[in-house]
Amino acid sequence: SAMDILCNGARSYCIPHTVDTQRKLFLAFDQSHIIKNVRSQFLARQLGGNEEIPSSHMKNYIRCRLEAL
């Protein structure tokens, strides 16, 4: 599998950076779980005076990503 190739046969959550050996690349095996965790962390935080997290930030991010394609 691709993960076996990236991890040299030993599965790990990080591998050496291919360009900068002083850094690590962290692998994401379950992207949907990561997205749900990030969402939960945002919802658990109290941001702003009215304790709301506006969806406009995420909408702007998605728009920028789509425009970059």
pLDDT over 70 (residue 7) = no
Q: Which residue has the tokens 């965790």?
A: 37
Q: How many domains does the chain have?
A: 1
Range of the domain at 45: 2-68
Instruction: Identify the bridge partners of residue 4 per DSSP, sorted by sequence position.
Output: none
Query: pLDDT tens digits for 9-68?
Result: 666 778 888 899 899 988 777 788 888 887 787 777 666 666 666 677 778 888 888 898
3-state helix, strand, coil in the chain (%, to 5): 45, 10, 45
Global pTM reads 0.34
pLDDT at 10: 67
